[in-house]
Amino acid sequence: MLQEAESAFRTITVKAQPSGFGAEIAGLDLTRPLSKDQLSEVKAAWARHAVVAFPDQPLSLEQLEAFTLQIGAFGHDPFIKPMPGHPNVLELRREPDEKATNFGAGWHSDWSFQQAPPAATLLHSEVVPPVGGDTLFCDCAAAYEALSPTMQRMLAPLQAVHSATRAYGVKGVFARETEARTLQIITSPEADKSLIHPLVRTHPVTGRKALFISPVYTTGVEGLTPQESQAILGFLFAHMTQDEFIYRHKWRPKMLLMWDNRCTMHFAEGGYDGHLRLMHRTTVAGETPV
């Protein structure tokens, strides 16, 4: 059935993972604006597979910005200093001699602590180390659908508490860091604020429900005690990160990856000490979760 669905694309070639979660898209030159039909099919493939890779795309920063804007308006990236002259691009650079933990080393959905978290994150590989550096993705929609109907009904009314405090707060991980880091991170009291989102959100395009929580940014469940929150969230985090819901992305140079923060979490693996790794990142503005 999946192969039949992929054959419906006319302007792009889509090679999906066996599970349908994650795919490669070929047949495009992202250095130039996409046609209306190409853009429509890219967005359809992204909605279907949640994580899509575009190999062999040697993009300048301006071309990365231009493609991002074809997907949607730029999102707001707090707590990290952007590139000079490119306020919507983050350079994720880790030098060979850095000892600090690699950035993104914890399961999360980007900026879920915002009122309207980004719909998409785009990451372009400039320098890929010869070892390590994989990015793992969790299919939060499939994980939700695998829960029992009873558990789904129990979770339906719950509101999860999101905050950047553990990472970027005044007493967070980065504030306590002692090793030098090339990436310029800005810790702030703003990060200690919190807000709530539905624990189960509905995707605005596909209509699928997905668990919208993460170990990094979800600090509790509204109305529950810390012990009750820990019991529910701990179970869900263990459930979501089972192998059956995980796609492991292996990078190649000049590859663009785009993922949907509304139905996935991701985790950046290390394992490349002694090697340079260089990526450029943008985000696309999203909507308030419902």
Query: What is residue 3's predicted lDDT score, i.e. its pLDDT?
Result: 46
Catalytic status, residue 124: no
Residue type, 53: A
Distance CA 201, CA 156 (A): 9
Of 253, 248, 255, which is closest to residue 26 (Cα–Cα)?
Answer: 255
pLDDT band at 8 (very low <50, low <70, confident <90, very high): confident
Residue whose C-alpha is closest to residue 283's, from 265, 264, 257: 257
Q: How many CB atoms lie within 10 A of CB 189?
A: 10
Global pTM reads 0.96
Please name the residues in contact with 197: beta carbons below 8 A apart, sequence gap of 6 or more: 112, 117, 159, 160, 162, 212, 288, 289
Q: How far apart are CA 201 and CA 197, in angstroms?
A: 8
Tell me the C-alpha distance between 57 and 52, whole Å: 13
Is pLDDT at 288 greater than 60 in this prediction?
yes
Q: What is the pLDDT of residue 85?
A: 98
Which tens digit of pLDDT belongs to each residue from 59-70? 999 999 999 999
Q: E strand or H helix at 46, and its extent?
A: helix 36-49
Which of 48, 49, 262, 266 is the catalytic position? 266
- At position 280, the amino acid (one-letter code) is H
Distance CA 57, CA 118 (A): 23
Whether residue 266 lies in the annotated active site:
yes
- List the one residue out of 249, 252, 282 whose CA is nearest residue 268: 249
Contact call for residues 132 and 288 (beta carbons, < 8 A) = no
Q: Longest Cα pair distance anywhere in the chain, in angstroms?
A: 53
Mean of the per-residue pLDDT values of the chain:
96
Domains for the chain: give ranges and CATH numbers: 2-284 (3.60.130.10)
Reading the block at residue 271, the tokens are 């394992």
> Each residue of 12-50: b (16+ CB within 10 Å) or e?
bebebbeebbbbbbeebebeeebeeebbebbbbbbbbbb
Instruction: Give the model's pLDDT for residue 40.
Output: 98
Active-site hit among 77, 94, 110, 162: 110
Q: Which of 108, 124, 166, 203 is catalytic?
A: 108
Q: How far apart are CA 289 and CA 116, in angstroms?
A: 7
